[in-house]
Structure 1
Amino acid sequence: MQTLTDPNKTRPKTTQPQPPHRDGTQHHDDVPDAKGHTGVYDAIKAMVITHELGPGARIRLEPLADRLRVSNTPVREALIQLAAERVISDMPKAGFFTKDISEAETRDLYRLGQHLLDWSLAAATRNRQIPGLLKPPKLFDIGDRLADLPAGSIVEMMDDLFNHIARQSGNADIVHMTGNINDRTHYIRLQECTLVEDMATDVAALCALYYARELKALRPALNDFHEKRLALLPDVIRAVRQARTERHIRALQKQRP
């Protein structure tokens, strides 16, 4: 087991300007001005799904608006949208809260994502003679040293793969649900990439099968990939919670005179 990924050093792709790194790394003190609803939404979602805004905590609207250098209105609108997408919680008369880590919810999301991707590949296999089949992209460079890829890059590659497979279904609901599952499992998948050996190799192998259009081979490989992650999920959740407890203890110790 290795050290957990620092969520404050890993950001997903958004519509905001990003440094030229695959993982979109950006220090939280350098959040750019969020322009429009989409910019505010993307910025807040990035803070939530990486746990830059800690899990199980109340989201205070005014400080967040000040940090993004916008008025309260676009922040409130973004939080309402994120709550509707179940990325955060909206508690009546209490406000908006980040969601705590839940093994049961993560397991259900993994299983649902697995079924959606398998359905999409089945549809692509049935319809591969139709000109509308999307050309699979090359999601990694075979010359890359996979062992050196940061967790954010691996998760980005996973997101790109899952999103593109979902598009093969031709079903907008499946595309939307797959993206939502990616968002809601982002943090746990970041930690998996740090804690689970060969994660980058496993993801790259799936990407290679997809790029080669080996869809019949990809279906069982993708199912095996999900089953492996589901089996390891309790250990990953336990490690995440232990690390969070240790950080809390260290913070309390620093506060002592």
Structure 2
Amino acid sequence: MQISTTCRYKKVEENNVYESIKKLILQQALPLGKRIYIEPLADELGVSNTPVREALIQLSTERIIKNEPYAGFFTKEVSEREIRNLYTLNLTLLELSLSLVRNDGQVPGMLKPPKFFEEQSPNETNTPNIEVQILNDLFMHISKQSGNDDVIYGIRNINDRINIIRLQEYDLIPDWHDGLVKLCQLYHQKNIVELKHALKLYHERVIFFCLILYYH
């Protein structure tokens, strides 16, 4: 098994194996639809086979990869139905989170939008990975407004499962960057009504364009 040299790990701590493998998958360093061999991957990471196997089991439980009986672990290509369902669920969870936000933009115990949104605001010099990460972080912060661990976990899991699709939507959708800027601005302004509308439009557009990509 070959791993992209830009994402290779010389040595990782055993308690970081899960995050290291997930990062390889999200950065597409492991080819889609291909088998993941435990021993070569363990050698690449500089750890034993056991934490690699445990990490792959966890990733398959989260449906980021597949665990085929008697065949092994495989990186996963997202189906047309899964694309539609995940984006629809993502919007539902974000709308639920925003419905719990008070007029001042907070629920008890939650923080205001973090400063890093301002420091790392979207700009046209960002790479696709940075822009998509900003979008993922925005959705995560919105989910935390719900104060519900299941909602937060749901958004995090969706971020992981469709990260590759989001990189494709970045390339496919005209003015994707402008849409990201608008979402961030509305969230900073705590303009919940307009943010809900913008989120709905975003999800409708990406479902449409991603399905075009899928069928072509």
TM-score by length of structure 1 reads 0.76
| Change in 2 beyond 3 A, CA 1:91/1:131 | closer
Aligned to 2:185: 208
- Distance in 2 of aligned mates of 1:72 and 1:91: 18
Asked if the contact 1:206/1:222 (under 8 Å) is kept, the reply is yes
Amino acid at match of 1:33: K
Residue 223 (structure 1) aligned to one of 181, 191, 200: 200
2:93 is aligned with 1:101: no
Aligned to 2:62: 85
Deviations 1:100-144 (A, max 9, x none): 2312111110110010001100111478575434311241459x7
Deviations 1:186-215 (A, max 9, x none): 001011112222111111111111111111
2:19 is aligned with 1:36: no
- Distance in 2 of aligned mates of 1:50 and 1:106: 18
Amino acid at match of 2:34: A
2:122 is aligned with 1:122: no
- Gaps of at least 5 residues in structure 1 are 1-7, 9-25, 240-257
Amino acid at match of 2:206: R
Deviations 1:135-157 (A, max 9, x none): 11241459x77233211011111
| Change in 2 beyond 3 A, CA 1:72/1:123 | same
| Change in 2 beyond 3 A, CA 1:130/1:43 | closer
Aligned to 1:49: 26
Amino acid at match of 1:121: L
Structure 1 segment 132-171 matched on structure 2, within 5 A = 132-138=109-115, 139-141=117-119, 146-171=123-148
| Change in 2 beyond 3 A, CA 1:84/1:148 | same
Asked if the contact 1:58/1:96 (under 8 Å) is kept, the reply is yes
Asked if the contact 2:14/2:47 (under 8 Å) is kept, the reply is no
| Change in 2 beyond 3 A, CA 1:171/1:73 | same
SS of residue paired to 1:163 = helix
% identity of equivalent residues: 42
Amino acid at match of 2:192: L
Deviations 1:43-96 (A, max 9, x none): 111122232211111110000000101110110110011011111111111111
Asked if the contact 2:143/2:155 (under 8 Å) is kept, the reply is yes
- RMSD between superposed Cα atoms in Å: 2.1
Residue 187 (structure 1) aligned to one of 161, 164, 179: 164
Asked if the contact 1:137/1:211 (under 8 Å) is kept, the reply is no
| Change in 2 beyond 3 A, CA 1:124/1:71 | same
- Distance in 1 of aligned mates of 2:137 and 2:106: 24
Asked if the contact 1:57/1:97 (under 8 Å) is kept, the reply is yes
TM-score by length of structure 2 reads 0.90
- Distance in 2 of aligned mates of 1:131 and 1:41: 32
- Gaps of at least 5 residues in structure 2 are none
SS of residue paired to 1:97 = strand
Residue 235 (structure 1) aligned to one of 193, 212, 215: 212
